[in-house]
A and B are shown apart, each in its own frame.
Chain A
Amino acid sequence: MNPTKRLLAVVSKPRLYDSSHVSWEILESLDRGPGGANAFVTPIGILRVAIKDNICTKDFPTTCSSSMLQRFNPPYDATVVSLLKRAGASIVGKTNCDEFGMGSANKFSHHGPVINPHPFQDASKEAWRLREQRSAGGSSGGSAAAVAMDLCDVALGTDTGGSIRLPAAYCGVMGYKPSYGLISRWGVVAFADSLDCVGILARDTRRISQTLDILAVHDPKDPTCLTDDLRAKLPREESTAQPLQGIRIGIPQEYFPVELDSSITSRFRNTVRLLAKSGAEILFVSLPSTPYALSAYYVISSAEASSNLARFDGVQFGEYTKPEKSFRGIIGDLYALNRSKHFGPEVKRRILLGTYALTAAAFDNYYLRAQQLRKLVRDDFDRVFTNLNMLRENKSTTSPVSSPTVDFLLHPSAIQSAPPLHETNEEDSLNSYVQDILTVPASLAGLPAISLPVGNGQDGWPLGVSLVGQWGTDRRLLEVAGAIEELI
């Protein structure tokens, strides 16, 4: 296979799937302007949607970017795909991602890494192959890149601990993760069920809202999908002329770790200044349990992953490797053979971590502790938000000293702009984990969050800020995000 081809891996049309990915040539043609690549042209007025490759589609293989599922053709569409089709959208293809959604640089992919397409359609730039290659972020890197390149109007991604918001920030697009339960997960290949959310990436909030209208419906096939009763009680848009007037925005002080790049801080300050000018009230708040979030997240998500990925044993699901003639193992050894060969390094790392966390000896110290920490993180959010958490029976967590509460939280989406692809290597996985530090608390608490592009940093690469709301306030969140979008 042409090595350059393997690098890009953004979107594939059904018939192009086997050759797998967008070639440099197609990219160059796309770069020349709209309509450059007929492969992705659909009639005007039809929503063009790209689907992350861990979401099942009848018309395309669903590989999860894993060698394990390289030939998996689901006989069904995920609920989100059916809903989009029914609404008349055109599914233009599947997007590359980190294997089973595990990763934050979109490097852990059977199809090769995703290259960040920024700056797209900039005539002054040199040819693609000569440019600096930076990460598109992960795990929904292909979805973010496809949106940035205008290969689609909207891309679906999944967000377990930041997998939509981070690539959106790196690629300079909008990335929205809904409240847990708002959008059906049926047909989404599970990484960690209690955290996984299907979300939307687009170039503007209008498209996101439009897509959310299609997707935010109850699905009787998903036990965690919100019922219609609860949906009816969710807060709606306020549709005021100045949505930012009088709104209380909290800046969580724990979200500025030492690793945070200085050019991010200045961009962030700039955004806050604009918000204040538009009548928003800016407050500093504290979410003291934030430091625990990352470790809690990795224990819980890895434990669930170790369980969810157990089905891929190469016998019933996944690639089967015929053992050597000399093979004398038992059935378990056969599973081990298949799983060792067809899972990538990051997936293996997390399965092992998760398996250990669930062993009888470690369960209390790891899994149970992590669940307790998760609750602390939730409590933190419930304390700072003005809105009550509809999912919690009573607000017993209110501290006796009434500290000021806020409508939304605002913080940098990532600690840096997109890192060069060669820097994010496998050995550096601990650093990739730190990258998730700003996004996992909202995932643990199941809160809605959106990353908005706020211009480029000193290095010329996109930066993003994240707006986070109380559970269920998605419509208000998108409304406010839309107002911020206009400011910038």
Chain B
Amino acid sequence: MVGEQSPSKISSKWPGWNLVIGIEVHAQLKTRQKLFSNSLATEDNFVPTNERVSLFDAAFPGTLPIINPTCVSLAARTALALRADIQSRSSFDRKHYFYGDLPVGYQITQNYAPFAKDGYLELVKSQKRIRIKQIQLEQDTAKSLHVGDKIQHDLNRVGMPLLEIVSHPDLSSPEEAGEYVRTLQAVLRSVAASDGMMEAGSFRCDVNVSIHRNGEPLGTRTELKNLNSVKAVVLAIDAEARRQLEILTSTELSGEERKIQQQTLTFDESTLQTRPLRTKEGVDDYRYMPDPNLLLLVVEQDTLNKLKEDMTSQGMAGPETATGEIYFGWDGIRHRLKHILGLPIAGRSEEKKHSDIERGIEVLMTVDAGRTVGWDGDTEPGAVSFFEQTVKHQSPPEPSGDLTKPRDPRIVLNWIIHDLLGQLTKRDETFAQNPISPEQLAEIIDAVEAKRITVTAGKTLIRHLLDTSRKSSAPLDPHIESSKFPLSIPQLIDTLGLAKSSSKADLDQWCQQVIDQNPELVDKVKIGKTNTIMALVGNVMKLSKGSADAVQAKALLERKILDDILDK
């Protein structure tokens, strides 16, 4: 979506110039309670203002912070997914300033000893690794509401847990920045740390932009704030880079005017221009001080091991790589899917035939990233889990009594991507609305693979299930929904008469009927338009509701028509 709208890269547009971008993300952790108080989190914007406020949040004298361990777990999950070093000891500091959005006069953050350091994020499309400088826990401030000419503050947001994720300035184009933001959102969702919604404010980006000529030192950077979509990030960076370039290459300006001022800017989407938010007169002094109430935040190896086990059991981990490493979150899931699908885990496969599967994996993961993130790190089963369960499902023994063969994961992936997702898209439904259970899909695939039904019949079954159990609105738990089906897949196959006919008599009857009902088509075949035979085959398939074997039907039709000619 971003690709088409984004302007071309500055480097290609203005040769000799480099663009340097660093991004600070503030992601709200999706915990039921706040970072240091037990007030309930505001789950949506419908909670009336100032309802979710404890004495501590409102800065009542004598109240003290108690850290919410769930916030620490979710921060650790994120750090693991970003391959950052979780510090065995980190600490909290107070950042002071006087403003109405901060009732206590300071924000508790991690300035001197952050939670985790030195991670990275892999950009698949740009094929680039972006280094993460540090990850820290901090409190959110109150939400400022502009009511008429007044500013009011909603303390519901005060003290909500934020994870600040600071990148190195490794990004060099608006498109890379866009991919970074989207990937980071997916990473946070993959470990159920944050729902990463930019528009809703649970994922906020501050972008630092500077430009410089090849071979020259870095330029003065400006900061872009209040960007509330990926598109805005991409467009704002481009606009800001152009603004800076215009200043630096101007022939009219001179002296100080031809320099970039260090300032904070906002982006106007209607004019596609950046403009100053406020000029920093000197550097703000936040008077950082270690918080004397909060002891060192200690993360023991044991805790970390338990956390990793928990992530593994929730499907957030990959298999061990050749070097014995385990990746968590977004990359871990990709590793696991590649492993299941028989692709090499690390890097991109050189083999052409793998590229389809890799595309399939990306589709599956993109769909997976759209699932609802639960509270306190809970996950709901998404597309990836659906795929894995479909692969793993143990079907009941075949009618013949033989055990079913293990399902080929690549075939399962195909069915999900092309048929299930395809049908859902056609119906304008999300994956969460899918009423088909992994078990049902597994049995359909088995029936096709065992040649009990044809591929067409399998697709018909999927459509039938979607039609008869489609729910118009809310996302549903596919497992609960499946229990509402009175009929099993084998029963459905019977009821709908989809079983591939092994009986010669049936096929004979259908072919004869088609020949009898379509004399014009038969005549065309007779005069040598042999392709027309396929139209007749199609009619047989329709008549048999897909249960006929097309190859056999074609052969029989040909023989019958030939017999007819010979008879005459």
Contacts and interface: CB of A to CB of B under 8 A. Distances in A.
Interface string B206-250: 000000000000000000000000000000000000000000000
B64 A358 contact: no
Contacts of A317: 59, 61, 103
A359 B287 CA distance: 5
B293 interface: yes
A456 interface: no
Given A311-B59, A360-B285, A193 B66 contact: no
Contacts of B289: 303-304, 307, 358, 367
B106 A307 contact: yes
B550 interface: no
Interface string B463-477: 000000000000000
A420 B213 CA distance: 74
A223 B293 contact: yes
A188 B67 CA distance: 19
A220 B61 CA distance: 17
B14 interface: no
Interface in A165-222: 185-190, 192-194, 220-222
A316 interface: yes
B62 A189 contact: yes
B294 A74 contact: no
A335 interface: yes
Nearest to A195: B292
Interface stretch (B2-10, B94-102, B409-417): B94-102
Nearest to B104: A311
A76 interface: yes
Contacts of B293: 193, 223-224
B96 A190 contact: no
Contacts of B96: 307, 310, 358
- Name B's interface SS: loop
Interface in B14-63: 55, 58-63
A192 B288 CA distance: 15
B450 interface: no
- Name A's interface SS: loop
A262 B222 CA distance: 66
Given A223-B293, A307-B105, A313 B98 contact: yes
B490 interface: no
B105 A310 contact: yes
Nearest to A186: B64
A355 B55 contact: no
- Interface band, chain A: 35 or more
A241 interface: no
Interface centre among B58, B63, B285, B294 (most CB of A within 10 A): B63
A222 B106 contact: no
Interface string B275-310: 000000001010111001111000000000000000
A224 B92 CA distance: 14
A56 B55 CA distance: 13
A274 interface: no
Interface in A290-323: 303-304, 306-307, 310-311, 313, 315-317
A186 B289 CA distance: 21
A313 B105 contact: yes
B295 to A, nearest CB: 6
Nearest to B155: A316
A428 B61 CA distance: 30
B206 to A, nearest CB: 21
B143 to A, nearest CB: 15
B360 interface: no
Interface in B69-109: 94, 96, 98-100, 103-106
A310 B66 contact: no
Contacts of A282: none
Contacts of A303: 289
Contacts of A192: 292
Contacts of A69: 61
A256 B252 CA distance: 74
A320 to B, nearest CB: 13
A100 to B, nearest CB: 10
Interface in A419-472: none
A224 B295 contact: yes
B169 interface: no
Interface in A386-425: none
Given A56-B62, A359-B287, A223 B98 contact: no
A306 B59 CA distance: 15
A128 interface: no
A72 interface: yes
Given A307-B96, A332-B98, A359-B285, A223 B64 contact: yes
A235 to B, nearest CB: 23
B65 interface: yes
Contact of A304 (B67, B103, B292): B292
B464 to A, nearest CB: 57
A221 B66 contact: yes
A232 interface: no
A97 to B, nearest CB: 14
A303 B287 CA distance: 10
Contacts of A194: 292
Interface of A: 55-56, 62, 64, 69, 72, 74-76, 78, 185-190, 192-194, 220-224, 303-304, 306-307, 310-311, 313, 315-317, 331-332, 335, 355, 358-360, 363, 367
- Rank and list the top 5 A-B pairs by shortest CB-CB distance, nearest first: A310-B105, A194-B292, A358-B287, A193-B292, A187-B62
12 contacts: A76-B62, A186-B63, A186-B64, A222-B64, A223-B64, A224-B64, A307-B289, A310-B96, A313-B105, A316-B58, A332-B98, A363-B288
Interface of B: 55, 58-67, 94, 96, 98-100, 103-106, 283, 285, 287-289, 292-295
Given A72-B61, A331-B99, A358-B288, 11 more contacts: A75-B55, A76-B62, A185-B62, A186-B63, A223-B65, A223-B67, A223-B295, A303-B289, A307-B105, A307-B106, A363-B288
